[in-house]
Copies of this chain bind each other. A is one copy, B any other.
């Protein structure tokens, strides 16, 4: 008798499980039940399909060689039976079978299994806002959403679009719609977009979006949608916004209806609970992808971080274990990257805010640096933030924002987190160097060295937020800009005093020894150098502003 596997879900983790099982056990009889029409499409590519960067729907559903992953493909190439447009509606755990209903049919079918794999994914959160069901209000959760949104971008195009929610999907969709000629307002309830970043890093992203014409409204709640059939406007706690189209990007929640009805254990974040073999509370049922909870590798706690990269890895692990092998999925760091116009925005591990919530005593550094030798055309800035455990000196998290290649540095940080490295170890990493690819001390190594200087008491930092509060409160301190006169003339920060680093040793007498001095430059290396000179000359209250002018999240004077 053959080994029967039923997989519910045919988009990301499901097809991965099916293909891997067939490679491990060519005798297996694998059936994939998928509610929708399309299989194995690149959901993460939808914003790029909307923007027109990806020309053809088919490109998102094809292998790299251009073969469409349709029912026939899975049958012929993978020997996997696909039941698409078929909804799984019940798991009969006692008899090990799944009840399913093909679309438009009344007759249900029963599918027997030896092992069942749930890859039911996530579903978008629809907020309980009045009139949320008006026309032209969409989520971006599948090909049908993308097609509907694209259809409004034609001749009678939607000019004013309101995006509700500043998470990854909201931000990516914002860019796609700006490229399509829309006027986009992004409305976010929280004080910042991209909660996966700390506030001052998210602020840099918001400034960049604003420079591309996006209106970013944080601390703003949508109270109602307006319109007859179709949406025409959005009421918010900060006023009325015209809207021809609205995208709801509040977030997603795991799709656990089937699992819950079958009494499978659900975790604290609402996802299916699985062990590290991807097995649910029923030994014959596995689950993978956006419907499950996993483990946060830094805190060791359960978390819900739905990502295509994780879905694929979990699918492979589930397949191996379904086939009687042994593989384990250890957990995630929440590593992610996002293109926001010209910016690469990447992060891994804990934010400073999250680390503090988890009870860590943290040291943070904010280090702007170039992504390759500054004399190579195309060199771009990255603002790097590292969050470090002050007690163990271990890295807890990293963030990168800027036009430069940040994803590379965050992948390195992710590896350091995986290995539980201290910033001391990270600072000695032998990373690739040549002028077109990195600086001799790579940006992340420099950031690690700054962290070491802070941990060793050589450098006392102060955040730009705290400096701003002091400036606003008109506190008495010297806000010392040590950049060049040319840099100062181009951009400066209100309330600052200019003494270029090269002149500092000769002009020490201009500075009061009884006041606090907060030094800064563009990135803060010269600010640090200035602080060391001042300390050497007997100034005792000297700090350096983290991130300098490059990472200043407030207004600058031009």
Contacts and interface: CB of A to CB of B under 8 A. Distances in A.
Given A23-B529, A411-B411, A338 B434 contact: yes
A532 B26 contact: yes
A328 B45 CA distance: 45
Contacts of A54: 375-376
A536 B2 CA distance: 14
B407 A418 contact: no
Contacts of A332: 430
A337 to B, nearest CB: 4
Contact of A418 (B65, B334, B419, B532): B419
Contact of A441 (B172, B313, B346, B433): B313
A62 B376 CA distance: 13
A421 B415 CA distance: 10
A132 to B, nearest CB: 28
A311 interface: yes
A44 B309 contact: no
A445 interface: yes
Interface stretch (A71-79, A86-94, A470-478): A71-79
B44 A430 contact: no
Contact of A375 (B59, B316, B328, B537): B59
Contacts of A312: 440-441
A377 interface: yes
Interface string A336-351: 1111000010101000
A336 B42 contact: no
Contacts of A297: 430
Contact of A407 (B370, B408, B430, B537): B408
Contacts of A339: 434, 436-437
A410 interface: yes
A60 interface: yes
Contacts of A440: 12, 42, 44, 308-309, 311-312
Copies in the complex: 2
A109 to B, nearest CB: 25
Given A335-B430, A438-B337, A449-B316, A370 B64 contact: yes
A429 B416 CA distance: 10
Nearest to A456: B325
A512 interface: no
A332 B429 CA distance: 8
A193 interface: no
Contacts of A408: 405, 407-408, 411
A505 interface: yes
A502 interface: yes
A22 B529 CA distance: 9
Nearest to A432: B337
Interface string A524-551: 0000110011011100000000000000
Contacts of A532: 22-23, 26
A405 B297 CA distance: 27
Contacts of A309: 430-431, 433, 438, 440-442
A360 interface: no
B536 A433 contact: no
A374 interface: yes
A182 interface: no
Contact of A419 (B421, B438, B535): B421
A12 B439 CA distance: 13
A78 B158 CA distance: 58
A199 interface: no
A522 B65 contact: yes
A309 B433 CA distance: 6
Given A309-B430, A414-B431, 7 more contacts: A44-B373, A172-B434, A309-B433, A313-B441, A337-B434, A407-B438, A411-B432
Q: Which 6 A-B pairs have the closest CB atoms?
A: A26-B536, A415-B415, A419-B419, A309-B433, A337-B432, A64-B374
28 contacts: A23-B528, A23-B529, A42-B435, A44-B373, A45-B376, A48-B436, A53-B376, A65-B483, A77-B502, A79-B505, A79-B533, A310-B430, A316-B449, A329-B428, A333-B430, A335-B430, A335-B431, A335-B432, A335-B433, A336-B434, A337-B434, A348-B432, A407-B408, A410-B432, A415-B415, A415-B419, A418-B421, A419-B421
Interface of A: 12, 22-24, 26-27, 42, 44-45, 48, 53-54, 59-60, 62, 64-65, 67, 73, 76-77, 79, 172, 297, 307-313, 316, 328-339, 344, 346, 348, 370, 373-377, 405, 407-408, 410-412, 414-416, 418-419, 421, 425, 427-438, 440-442, 445, 449, 458, 483-484, 487, 501-503, 505, 522, 528-529, 532-533, 535-537
